Structure 1
Amino acid sequence: MRKRIHSMLLAMAALTLGSGCTGKFTDINKNPYDFTESDLKGDFQLMGAPITQAQLYLLRYNDPPTAQLQQNLNADIFSGYMMSPTPFEGNINNMNYGLLYYWNVHPWNEAYRWVMKPCVFTQQKAGTKYPDFYAWATIMKVEAMHRISDIFGPIIYNHFGEINNDNVFEYDSQQQAYATFFHDLDTAINLLTDYVNRGSPQRFQAFDLVYKGDYIKWIKFANTLRLRLAVRINGADPAQARKEGEAALKHPLGLLQEAKDNFAVDISPVTHPLNIMCYTWADLRMSAPMESILTGYNDPRLPHYFVHTDEGQGIYHGIRNGIRISLKEQYTGYSKLARLENRIQFMAAAEAWFLKAEAALNNWDGAGSAVYNYERGVSTSFDQYGITNVNDYLKNDSSKPRPYVDPNNRENDVPAGSQHLSKITVKWDEQASKEEKLERIITQKWIAMFPEGQEAWTEFRRTGYPKLFPVVINNSNNTISTEKFIRRLPFPQIEEVTNPQALGRARKMLKADDNGGTRLWWDTK
């Protein structure tokens, strides 16, 4: 079955590529599936195969160079998870805020061409006749496009594929996009829940690379995604956040709970693209904040995330973001990522518990106890790696992130007493302020979500946690604050040529300049 699905995807890819590159948004909106229903009517392939493709291209599973530009050289770096030893483009690049437009078009292009388009195609084919496929495509569409909105802000969502009277594709503000995300998730959850409750057959098992056709897990994932987005907008629209969050918390089928519930796409037999970037190209190493936090907490997840340096067993070094690098060899001996399995993770079940912990801080109905959820989040993350000594870790009320020392260049050090070093410990303190509790929750959430840098970067922007180290060199020409960090990516320049009128209106929605220093709608802290 896997061979047949991959053959179908190759056929789809050939048709898509035959229509040209993503240089025009009109091309992105074209239907790449020019075969008829009779060509794919067996085993629901007409509706199922496009969603297989959408899963595989959330991160370009089979094209590491594109995946590197799609996420690694932006969100994975901005999140504080990773850093590259490579001085790309004369060491003026994203990592020191010298943003490169020809890098940063990739998240946009990949999402619209390879995920949004097939999801909409399946929705159109499924209609009301196949509610399970319609719901599945809808959930996948929200999962993909909220990530794009969290990179750029306003996006083309409600009007995707619609050319208005001015011959443009109209944007939604981020607030409008999020409102539709919630509506779409509500629709999908209700459709799929009703479908399951009626005992209807489960029909997309052959195409599902995440949960193997387990409809209940898809409902739990959709509920957790709804809670994620609700928590995200609490600073911008607390009433809407509470409404959507409580709907997710009170759904009878609940949220993701155990490590086996992780939302991770099976890409086997292809290796994880981060393995190629790290081991084949030597373009990827541990970050300085990861070294500081994981070694400071004596975190047993450390060897599951990274390997020791060339200096020997038990020694870990990360690279600080935005530093002077003249030769790649200066830092290639620092800690590599531990080799990742052939699954790309987009949501760990541990995140659901940390979302509930924050919801409890907000006093949302159905959230339960903040401390219980916090500790379950940590223990669920430990379970993911087969680590058993979670109680000792949770009792630690003394260890804190360590000062950072760069053996290659002391200019990059973060010394004891720096405002960029957190004073937070692991052990929960019920008497602490709400802000301290939030920092504790988000710090552990950040650790548990690794290596999913897109979500980690988003949560850092929203909360300011965990405390990260600012860039040493800032090549943004004063458009991005060193102390406030990068907040978004500018809109792709191709939109200037192909969709300029709509782009102009989208820029006004930002209420500030279209650059990396402008905050998104939900970024209020």
Structure 2
Amino acid sequence: MKRWNVTALLAVMAVVLTSACTKRFADINKNPYDFDEDELKADYRLMGEPLSQALLNLLIYNDPPTAQLQQNLNADIFSGYMMSPTPFEGNINNTNYGLLYYWNNKPWQVAYSNVMKNCDFTQMKSKDTFSDFYALAQIIKVEAMHRVSDIYGPIIYTKYGQLNSEMGIDYDSQQTAYYAFFQDLREAIDTLTQYVNNNAASRFTNFDLVYHGSYRQWVKFANTLRLRLAIRISGVDQAKAKLEGEAALQHPVGLLTEPGDNFAVNISPVTHPLNIMCYTWADLRMSAPMESFLTGYNDLRLYAYFTPSEAGANVFHGIRNGIKISAKEEYSGFSPLAKLTSNILFMTAAEAWFLKAEAALLKWKNAGEAGENYNRGISTSFKQYNLPNITAYLADNTSKPKPYKDPQNPDNNVPAGDPHLSTITIRWNEAASFAEKQERIITQKWIAMFPEGQEAWSEFRRTGYPKLFPVVINNSNGTISSEKFIRRLPMPQIEEVTNPKALERAKAMLKGPDTGGTPLWWDIR
């Protein structure tokens, strides 16, 4: 397939237009010398195509080795969703807290080169006359950059592009960045709500890889994203969290409610990068916590998420994080992921119901009843996978996560009675304590968000739920506590070369040393 030769007029769009590989792009892969800027603006490609590319790189869609480092070998593992059977770097790597700086640059690099750059270009070109494109760029930026901030802490956001030749480009503290996220979401929601109220014909349809140009759906997603971020900071900044959360809950367009509302980027015909990692490279398998929860609960989502191990047709085995692995063959026979569609999932409607459940616990206006929202979250997740028997599942007050047994090495077992083994049941208990209710909500939310490991890791750090198993081997040289788990990634070392003075100022914003053991601003657990 031909690729854009981006020069001259579109030089700033270099990253934007070099990797269009979907069927939808086949008819637009033409030499940009055939167009001038007015012609590109006339069919909205000047603003729309960069946003398509930004969406495609929330998790880089066409470069599995980079995607593996962008998210899989950090958040997907740290969240308790997945584990690798591969003993990378002599079994000293991220999975056992032997953090590798050349791995951990990738979340930063992809976000700035492939997402922020494209959104900034669209905003520069659309600000005066195409407010819908400007608003969509705001939402995509927040979706991308809150993920980056939740990995590292301080990020370059409000000062993006403002280079001081001597001092570099300044970072925002995580609190400042979050406040900017809320402002951008508020402005974008207000703008797009006007388009919804006016029944305006979409100008974004040809570039929208999620909602096919629906302004209403984008408002629902932005409202839910606003609520997600409000809940995220509810422990550290209660007043701001309540203000933003209630604004999202009271908005007339509403939140995501049904599986058809899920925010998932269509990368067809390219396969999901996790399929490559799991099946082509055999670098990815089920985690031990996933085995414990899904088998213990007799949860039918087990078969939607994973396939049986080599031990038998209905036998599922997960790998515990941070264990001794001498050779890949030891654990490669454990359960692979079920093959994923060509849609990369970043937010589900089920998550929205669980957010509302927690908002109800916090007594935010318009949140409804916590138990009702909790049950809707589970039922919406089951509906997403066309699964039956939700009534029996919701009524189950006895099933608990199973003890974990590693058939390869008993040193990795988590037996009954171990404090790291959850005892939370499924059925809602209105008489339970706040902590028990929160654990129940977050445990089911964690199951429902699979395979979106970035958000699952963030929620685990914020709440301590679900209960996960600590690493067996800790190669952090004392910088990360096995009991407290990894809290963040150190600032990317590429910034040491490109932005050293600003980086030193950013490190001073942290609550401790620039290590994986220092918690983020919102992480007060």
Cα offsets for 1:351-409 (capped at 9, x unmatched): 00000000000000010000000000000000000012111000000000000000000
Q: Does the 8 A contact of 1:481 with 1:517 survive in 2?
A: yes
Q: Distance in 1 between matches of 2:121 and 2:180?
A: 18
Deviates more, 1:189-198 or 1:179-188: 189-198
Instruction: Determine if the alignment matches structure 1 residue 342 to structure 2 residue 349.
Output: no
SS state of the match for residue 44, structure 2? Answer: helix
Shift of 1:268: 0.5
**Inter-CA distance 254–272: structure 2 relative to 1 (3 Å threshold):** same
In structure 2, relative to structure 1, the CA distance for the partners of 1:338 and 1:13 (3 Å cut) is farther
Q: Who is 2:127 aligned against? A: 127
Alpha-carbon spacing, 1:314–1:286, altered in 2? closer, same or farther (3 Å): same
Cα offset, 1:42, TM superposition: 4.0
Does the 8 Å contact 2:347/2:449 carry over to 1?
A: yes
Contact 2:81–2:290, Cα closer than 8 Å, also in 1: yes
Q: Tell me the amino acid that sits aligned with residue 83 of structure 1.
A: M
Q: Which runs of 5 or more structure 1 residues have no equivalent in the other structure?
A: 21-32
Q: Retained in 2: the 8 A contact 1:202–1:213?
A: yes
Q: Which residue of 2 aligns with 1:154?
A: 154
Instruction: Give distance in 2, aligned partners of 1:17 and 1:344.
Output: 20
Q: Secondary structure at the match of 1:101?
A: coil
Are positions 1:16 and 2:11 aligned together? no
Contact 2:17 2:53 in 1 (8 A): no
Change in CA separation of 1:211 and 1:15 when aligned onto 2, cut-off 3 Å? closer
Check if 1:366 corresponds to 2:403: no
Query: Is the contact made by 2:285 and 2:334 (CA closer than 8 Å) also made in structure 1?
Result: yes
Deviations 1:2-28 (A, max 9, x none): x9xx955999899736999xxxxxxxx
1:100-115 equivalences under 5 Å are: 100-115=100-115
1:143 aligned residue: 143
Is 1:477 equivalent to 2:477 in the alignment?
yes
Deviation at 1:496, TM superposition (A): 1.2
Taking structure 1 as reference, are residues 8 and 495 closer, same or farther at Cα in structure 2, changes over 3 Å only? same
1:482-501 map, 5 Å: 482-501=482-501
Q: TM-score, normalised by structure 2?
A: 0.94
Letter paired with 2:258: E
CA contact (8 A) 2:16 2:49 kept: no
- Partner amino acid, structure 2, of 1:462: R
1:65 and 2:60 are equivalent in the alignment: no
Within 2, Cα distance between the matches of 1:49 and 1:57? 13
* Identical positions, percent: 67
In 1, Cα distance between the equivalents of 2:16 and 2:124? 22
Distance in 2 between residues matched to 1:18 and 1:258, nearest whole Å: 32
Q: In 2, are the aligned partners of 1:8 and 1:49 still within 8 Å (CA)?
A: no
SS in 2 for 1:265: strand
Which residue type is aligned with residue 279 of structure 1? Answer: Y
Question: How far apart are the structure 2 equivalents of 1:155 and 1:64?
Answer: 25
| SS at 1:522 equivalent | coil
The amino acid across from 1:253 in the alignment is: V
Quote how far apart the aligned CAs of 1:166 are: 2.9
The answer on whether the counterparts of 1:169 and 1:499 sit within 8 Å (CA) in structure 2 is yes
- In structure 2, what is the Cα distance between the partners aligned to 1:329 and 1:37? 55
The CA RMSD measured in Å over matched residues stands at: 1.9
- C-alpha distance in 1 between matches for 2:325 and 2:137: 44
Is the contact between residue 15 and residue 118 of structure 2 (CA under 8 Å) also seen in structure 1? no
User: Which residue identity is paired with 1:274?
Assistant: L
**Separation of aligned partners in 2, 1:182 and 1:332:** 43
Does the 8 Å CA contact 1:490/1:516 hold for their aligned counterparts? yes
The ranges of structure 1 where at least 4 consecutive aligned residues each deviate by more than 2 angstroms after the TM superposition are 6-20, 33-36, 38-42, 164-167, 198-201
2:218 equivalent to 1:218 = yes
Whole-angstrom CA distance in 2 between matches of 1:498 and 1:119? 21
Aligned to 1:170: 170
Using the alignment, how far apart are the partners of 1:263 and 1:332 within structure 2? 32
| SS across alignment from 2:345 | strand
Q: Is the 8 A contact 1:322 1:471 kept in 2?
A: yes
Q: How many angstroms apart in 1 are the aligned matches of 2:59 and 2:331?
A: 26
> Could you tell me which residue of structure 2 aligns to residue 54 of structure 1?
54
1:307 partner letter:
T
3-state SS in 2 of match to 1:346: strand
Instruction: Measure, in 2, the Cα distance between the counterparts of 1:455 and 1:143.
Output: 11
**Partners in 1 of 2:4 and 2:511 — Cα distance?**
44
> 1:308 maps to which residue?
308
Q: Tell me what 2:29 maps to.
A: none
Question: Over residues 249-278 of structure 1, what are the superposed CA-to-partner deviations in whole Å (9 max), with x where a residue is unaligned?
Answer: 000000000001100000111100000000
C-alpha separation between the residues in 2 aligned to 1:111 and 1:298?
Answer: 38
Kept in 1: contact 2:406–2:413 (CA 8 A)? yes
Whole-angstrom CA distance in 2 between matches of 1:196 and 1:375:
30
Contact 2:16 2:53 survives alignment (8 Å): no
CA distances 1:335-364 after superposition (whole Å, capped 9, x unpaired): 000000110000011000000000000000
1:202 matched to 2:216: no
Residues 9, 49 of structure 1: 8 Å contact kept: no
Measured against aligned partners, the alpha-carbon deviations of 1:56-105 in whole angstroms (never above 9, x if no partner) come to 00001111001000000000000000000000000000000000000000
Partner of 1:506 in structure 2?
506
| 8 A Cα contact 2:3 2:17, kept in partner | no
Quote the residue 1:188 is aligned against.
Answer: 188
Aligned counterpart, 1:23: none
Distance 2:309 2:477 in 1: 35
Residue 48 of structure 1 aligns with an amino acid whose one-letter code is G
**Partner of 1:27 in structure 2?**
none
Contact 1:9-1:53 within 8 A present in 2 as well: no
Q: Which letter does structure 2 place at the counterpart of 1:107?
A: P
Partner of 1:396: 396
In 1: Cα distance, 2:389 partner to 2:353 partner: 19
Count of equivalent residues: 509
Aligned to 2:261: 261
Structure-2 change in CA distance of 1:19 and 1:346 (3 Å): closer
SS in 2 for 1:193: helix
Q: Return closer, same or farther for 1:170/1:292 CA change in 2, 3 Å cut-off.
A: same
**Which residue type is aligned with residue 250 of structure 1?**
Q
SS state at 1:358 partner:
helix
Partners in 2 of 1:18 and 1:116 — Cα distance? 10
CA distance in 1, matches of 2:464, 2:244: 23
| CA positional deviation for 1:201 | 2.2
Contact 2:17 2:50 in 1 (8 A): no
Note the alpha carbon deviations across 1:179-226, whole angstroms, 9 max, x for none.
000000000000000122123221100000000001100000000000
Which structure 2 residue ranges, 5 or more long, are not aligned?
A: 19-31
Deviations 1:233-262 (A, max 9, x none): 001100000000000000000000000110
Is residue 131–residue 195 contact of structure 1 (8 Å, CA) maintained in 2?
no
Deviation at 1:318, TM superposition (A): 0.1
**What amino acid sits opposite 1:93 in the alignment?**
N
Once the two structures are superposed, residues 98-125 of structure 1 have per-residue CA deviations (whole angstroms, 9 ceiling, x without a partner) of 0000000000000000001100111111
The answer on whether the counterparts of 1:51 and 1:122 sit within 8 Å (CA) in structure 2 is: yes
**Residues in 2 aligned to 1:123 and 1:351: alpha-carbon distance in whole angstroms:** 29
One-letter identity of the residue aligned with 2:393: Y
